[in-house]
Amino acid sequence: AQTVTQSQPEMSVQEAETVTLSCTYDTSESDYYLFWYKQPPSRQMILVIRQEAYKQQNATENRFSVNFQKAAKSFSLKISDSQLGDAAMYFCAYRGGATNKLIFGTGTLLAVQP
């Protein structure tokens, strides 16, 4: 079975600084996709960034980028120039090419200090 692990329950960053959230996963599938979702206090789930496992190039979306290490099964999220609006729960998620199930980690609560 596929699993997703987020080992940092809480993180804190100063405004304008950079922070990295960690995620590891376990799978025997060769075709899969990885995602980071943001959940602000409103409870809305917002897709931040996605990565295809077959692509070596790390995905980037404005201030958000990932460090995808396929052999290590690691998928970390880097937030640059942190803003107060980045404060939220962040979930790492896995989706297999065969099963199509979306599986989440336990989340990292990010606080942004002014």
Partner 1 sequence: DAEITQSPRHKITETGRQVTLACHQTWNHNNMFWYRQDLGHGLRLIHYSYGVQDTNKGEVSDGYSVSRSNTEDLPLTLESAASSQTSVYFCASSARGPNTEAFFGQGTRLTVV
User: Minimum CB separation from partner 1 for residue 44, in Å?
Assistant: 7
Number of residues that bind partner 1 (CB under 8 A): 23
Nearer to partner 1, 57 or 114 (CB): 57
End-to-end CA distance of the chain: 41
Cβ-based neighbour number of residue 101 at 10 Å: 10
Determine contact, residues 49/77, Cβ cutoff 8 Å.
yes
Q: Cα-atom radius of gyration of the chain, to the nearest Å?
A: 14
Nearer to partner 1, 9 or 114 (CB): 9
Contacts with partner 1 by CB under 8 A lie at 6, 9, 31-33, 43-45, 47, 50, 52, 91, 95-97, 100-107
